[in-house]
């Protein structure tokens, strides 16, 4: 039987213990920061900070402000009146994304210098028209684009795409 007064021979390294605790605290802060960023939509998912809306004279644009490379996204354009149903999109932006589809389907797509013009046939020009460009981000980086109504307002937008 052991003598209880003898005690245990433990070697304690207080400096190592402080460094370990500091590393654990830093790791916990980073973990909570990543979880918080994901919940806010800063990692390319859905969240309050991932999308943005711009307004112009009779023109509204909803888009993904932050996205992931090779992820699907939508560029939603709403025209207050569809009388002038011709939308211009920057060719430079279109070259950096893959357009998977356009809803409704455009009647014609015509190149105009730095833009592509999408013309839509509209049954009732007094009603609003909502056009959705279904896209897939082709590469990571900062994408800049502009959507314009033929002979009307234009809205510039910026997207950040990460890996």
Give the domain ranges of the chain.
51-162
The answer to whether 117 and 88 are in contact (CB under 8 A) is: yes
Residue 142 in this model has a pLDDT that exceeds 90: yes
pLDDT in tens, 100-140: 999 999 988 898 889 999 998 887 777 888 999 999 988 88
**What is the strand order of the sheet 108-112 is part of?**
66-68, 154-162, 141-149, 86-90, 115-119, 108-112
pLDDT in tens, 15-29: 998 999 999 999 999
Please tell me the distance from the alpha carbon of residue 39 to that of residue 48, in angstroms, as a whole number. 8
N residues, the chain: 163
**Residue 94 CB coordination number (10 Å):** 15
pLDDT band with cut points at 50, 70 and 90 for residue 49: low
pTM listed for this prediction: 0.72
Please tell me the distance from the alpha carbon of residue 33 to that of residue 158, in angstroms, as a whole number. 24
Closest CA to 109 of 121, 99, 118: 118
The answer to whether 131 and 75 are in contact (CB under 8 A) is: no
The answer to whether 56 and 150 are in contact (CB under 8 A) is: no
Q: Mean pLDDT, the chain, as a whole number?
A: 84
pLDDT band with cut points at 50, 70 and 90 for residue 42: low
CATH of domain 51-162: 2.60.40.10
């Amino acid at each position: 039987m052991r003598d209880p007064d003898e005690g245990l021979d433990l070697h304690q390294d207080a400096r190592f213990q402080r460094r370990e605790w500091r590393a654990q605290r830093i790791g916990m802060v980073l973990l909570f920061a990543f979880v918080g960023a994901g919940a806010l939509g800063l990692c390319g998912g859905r969240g309050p900070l991932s999308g943005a809306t711009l307004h112009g004279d009779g023109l509204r644009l909803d888009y993904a402000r932050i996205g992931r490379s090779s992820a699907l996204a939508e560029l939603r354009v709403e025209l207050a009146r569809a009388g002038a149903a011709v939308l211009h999109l920057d060719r430079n932006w279109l070259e950096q994304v893959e357009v998977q589809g356009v809803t409704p389907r455009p009647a014609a797509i015509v190149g105009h210098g730095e833009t592509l013009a999408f013309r839509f046939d509209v049954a009732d020009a007094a009603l609003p028209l909502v056009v959705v460009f279904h896209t897939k981000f082709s590469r990571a980086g900062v994408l800049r684009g502009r959507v314009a109504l033929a002979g009307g307002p234009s809205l510039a937008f910026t997207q950040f795409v990460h890996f």
